[in-house]
Structure 1
Amino acid sequence: MTDEDETLRDKKQAELEESHRLIEDSIAYTMDIYGYTHSVGRIYAILYLNGGPMTLDELRIELGMSKGSMSLGVRKLLDDKLIHRVFRRGERKDLYQAEQDYFKFFTNFHTQRWQREVSVNMQGIRQAQPRYQALIDDPDTPEDIRENARRKLEKTTASFDYYDFLELLVSKAESGELFKILLDKKDS
């Protein structure tokens, strides 16, 4: 290889690395939309762009993070199913790989939160509704309190359609039907 060829190769390698860094940075910066810190976003970005699984040590070297910070970030991404532990024959250390399918990323991230929203709010509603109703039905309840309880009961009852919608959205996203419906509409 001539000096000229080597210079050209170095220039192209630098361009490749700069392009890679642009994508890595954009992924890391947008992970804040999902509630992740920039450093956790960088973990996901490195794993996503790497093309294969990496150990915590490899990630730590690539990112210059402490092992503790790295472990916490990896655990958060594992819990949210945005990265996965993978097995490689002969490898004794844990290996991690990012979810490569953005539709699965969307589904894993959002459905967990939508399910939690439904669960937490429906539990609160189930506990509050009989109390509101008791205030409404009790002849000793002052009229202004009775009216306030009636309004709150109507509001909480009206939210059922929304929570039914979220449950349907979760179901359609998890089955893949949501994406099929939306992408079929796009092609029409």
Structure 2
Amino acid sequence: MVKELKNPCHQIEKAREDLIQELSQNMHLYGISESVGRLYGTVLFAHEPVTLDEMSQSLGMSKTSMSTGMRVLSEANMVEKAWKKGVRKDLYQPVDDWYKSFSTTFVKRWKVSVVNNLQAVHEMRDTLLDIEQHQELNASEYTAVKADLHTLEQAEKYYNWLSEVTELFESGQIFELIPKK
């Protein structure tokens, strides 16, 4: 019985496709859709700058969708435009600094979350303090207000801490504590 030899090119493509599939399924963590994740994977493994036309052939996406996707990836610092002599179309390549991509994307999301959640905490606290000061409360209502105020105090401490964490990422100081590999 003769053992069938596998084509290395097919194995490489299959390995790339498997990783691109996994990456694209997890892009929601960055607020990025799966289709845009596939676009990123295509750019990542192109190993040279590519045009929208070249990506369109391999992905079957419209140029409009790909252009929108590239804008999303560019805003997340995951891809950038490249230049090549003699090429008039836009070329794209992955950004080499994955740490910067992570920081840009997550800091933006965390900052919005912190601001919105702190605002909600402050509004609820003001409401509870107003109720406590201007309404007659029975024992269980008073206990509920005090318990909620304690919970809000803990929430505010957490969101202030998270704000400090985002500042570490935004300033790059995080890499002094945990160096890039």
Give the TM-score normalised by the residue count of structure 1: 0.75
| 1:86-140 C-alpha deviation (Å, 9 max, x unpaired) | 45565443333323222112212211111111111112223232222111111x3
2:56 counterpart of 1:36: no
**3-state SS, counterpart of residue 81 of structure 2:** strand
The aligned runs of 1:44-123 (5 Å cut-off) are: 44-88=40-84, 91-123=87-119
Distance in 2 of aligned mates of 1:125 and 1:110: 22
**3-state SS, counterpart of residue 58 of structure 1:** helix
The answer to whether the 8 Å contact 2:114/2:159 transfers is: yes
**3-state SS, counterpart of residue 159 of structure 1:** helix
- 1:156 aligned partner: 152
RMSD of aligned residue pairs (Cα, Å): 2.9
**3-state SS, counterpart of residue 114 of structure 1:** helix
| 1:114-167 C-alpha deviation (Å, 9 max, x unpaired) | 1111111112223232222111111x3333444333322221121122112212
The answer to whether the 8 Å contact 1:125/1:156 transfers is: yes
Distance in 2 of aligned mates of 1:18 and 1:149: 59
| 1:2-51 C-alpha deviation (Å, 9 max, x unpaired) | xxxxxx9x944344333333333332233244443332111111112222
- 2:136 aligned partner: 141
Distance verdict in 2 for CA 1:61–1:136, change over 3 Å = same
Distance in 1 of aligned mates of 2:82 and 2:133: 59
Distance in 1 of aligned mates of 2:51 and 2:122: 46
Distance verdict in 2 for CA 1:136–1:36, change over 3 Å = same
Distance in 2 of aligned mates of 1:67 and 1:75: 12
Greater RCO structure (CA 8 Å; 6+ sep) = 2
Which structure has the highest helix share of the two? Answer: 1
- 1:124 aligned partner: 120
Q: How many residues align?
A: 176
**3-state SS, counterpart of residue 136 of structure 2:** coil
What letter matches 2:38 in structure 1? R
What letter matches 2:75 in structure 1? D
What letter matches 1:133 in structure 2? L
Structure 2: unaligned runs, 5 residues or longer? none
The answer to whether the 8 Å contact 1:136/1:147 transfers is: no
What letter matches 1:84 in structure 2? E
**3-state SS, counterpart of residue 151 of structure 1:** helix
The answer to whether the 8 Å contact 1:132/1:149 transfers is: yes
The answer to whether the 8 Å contact 1:135/1:146 transfers is: no
The answer to whether the 8 Å contact 1:83/1:96 transfers is: yes
Distance in 2 of aligned mates of 1:152 and 1:124: 13
